[in-house]
Amino acid sequence: MTTAPVRRETTTPDLLSAFPFPFVDDIYRYSTNVEPANQQVITPAGQWGDSVAVIDSEYRNELAERAAVLDADPTRRAVLPHMRPAAWDALMTMLRELAHAYPDTMHLTSVGHDEWHWRNDLLDDERTFRYGEEASLGDDPLHYLSTQVQEDIALLDQRDDQLFVDAGVITFAADWSFGFDVGMSFLEIHGPVPRVRKMGVITRAHEFLKRLQPHEPYRRTNWTMTIGRRLDVSTERYPEWGPDREMIQHVDDAEFGRLVHLRVEVQHLIRLPDSGAIMFVIRTYLLPLEALATVEPWRTRAAEVFAELPDDMADYKGIIKYRTRASEWLRTHAGHQPSADDN
């Protein structure tokens, strides 16, 4: 027997209207799918894509969840010594992004040479700090950043014509381990992904990233499915969430639609201006099938993609045992409105 997956509350409207539905076709294959960032995408449910850092109704929940993960497992964060300047660069870049996107609640002000005042009204948190001086911030800059944004962040060093994941705070990994990967090269990290070597996807992405320029952020999406509104499906916690892939095959239809979530990552790729490191920003969105089915073009398209996905890709994504049922569920739930009884 497995324990019930965490958190099954109803979907608040903004999680549907700002959901970055990832499928542009009825067939999904890997590609080097990058595009310039900060372009708004209009969807049948609303819109997404205006900014690198996004605050939604899950802000406090997700920050609390990240804090709990970091408390329980310090291997989810690391800054190799040569990445300290990049960590400051990341902090300033993301605080600027927040202040730009949310001027009513997020404020960054220059108060002297290399001195800054930051105020986050939502958290009632404010600091005056000197760039590069941990004591003035009262925290390691990457850790502090992880208390302000919902996004996970990895920092890549570029040396010897390669990229290395040498720093990060990753608490919501989709079936991988930051603690295991830290220090590895971009090419090594993508070793387990099927197909991509033959297709040249990863080597092309590597060349693209090495040429990335400051102030020209790019983004891409990636997706999988997750059972329950569970952000932390890291390798470390596999014993907790892995058995749900078996359990989900035995629940009734209403429970299936509530528990199975389309999980989408919006990933930003940014060359940091001072350190030259690459910042990889990963934001995870989860939408249950029962909410997805309320948007007709999403319902029909996702059903096609799940059914058609080749077995090796479905297996790698960990959805092979229930993707056919997910597709069938969507096909048979046209106009589905979650009822009060469903909750």
**How far apart, in Å, are the Cα atoms of 8 and each of 5, 189, 257, 326?**
8, 32, 11, 18
Please state, in angstroms and rounded to a whole number, the distance separating the CA atoms of residues 265 and 173: 10
Please state, in angstroms and rounded to a whole number, the distance separating the CA atoms of residues 224 and 308: 14
| Contacts of ligand HEM in 132-191 (CB under 6 A) | 154, 156, 165, 176, 181, 189-190
Closest CA to 264 of 228, 226, 291: 226
Q: Annotated active-site positions, please?
A: 220
192 near ligand HEM, rule: CB under 6 A = yes
Please state, in angstroms and rounded to a whole number, the distance separating the CA atoms of residues 82 and 271: 17
Contact map string, positions 79 to 98, toward ligand HEM, x by CB under 6 A: --------------------
Between 2 and 177, CB nearer to ligand HEM: 177
310 near ligand HEM, rule: CB under 6 A = no
236 near ligand HEM, rule: CB under 6 A = no
308-340 per-residue burial string, b: 16 or more CB within 10 A, e: under 16? ebeeebbebbbbeebbebbbebbbebeebebee
Between 188 and 342, CB nearer to ligand HEM: 188
Strand partners, 125: 120
**DSSP label at residue 72:** H
The residue number whose beta carbon is nearest to ligand HEM equals 205
Token code pair at residue 203: 């080597």
The residue from 119, 316, 324, 331 that contacts ligand HEM (CB under 6 A) is 316
324 near ligand HEM, rule: CB under 6 A = no
Q: Which helix or strand (DSSP H or E) is residue 141 part of?
A: helix 141-146
Return the range that interacts with ligand HEM (CB under 6 A); candidates 70-78, 127-135, 219-227, 329-337: 219-227
Q: Are 231 and 63 in contact (CB under 8 A)?
A: no
Between 85 and 179, CB nearer to ligand HEM: 179
Token code pair at residue 232: 């932390």
317 near ligand HEM, rule: CB under 6 A = yes
Token code pair at residue 167: 């720093």
The residue from 30, 59, 102, 131 that contacts ligand HEM (CB under 6 A) is 30
Closest CA to 92 of 112, 110, 80: 110
Please state, in angstroms and rounded to a whole number, the distance separating the CA atoms of residues 297 and 190: 32
The residue from 92, 196, 248, 264 that contacts ligand HEM (CB under 6 A) is 196
Token code pair at residue 33: 């799918």
Rounded to the nearest whole angstrom, what is the least distance from the CB of residue 197 to ligand HEM in the complex? 11
Rounded to the nearest whole angstrom, what is the least distance from the CB of residue 22 to ligand HEM in the complex? 11
Rounded to the nearest whole angstrom, what is the least distance from the CB of residue 215 to ligand HEM in the complex? 18
Between 137 and 281, CB nearer to ligand HEM: 281
Return the range that interacts with ligand HEM (CB under 6 A); candidates 26-34, 68-76, 96-104, 105-113: 26-34
Binding site for ligand HEM (CB under 6 A): 30, 32, 34, 154, 156, 165, 176, 181, 189-190, 192-193, 196, 201, 205, 220, 222, 224, 280, 316-317
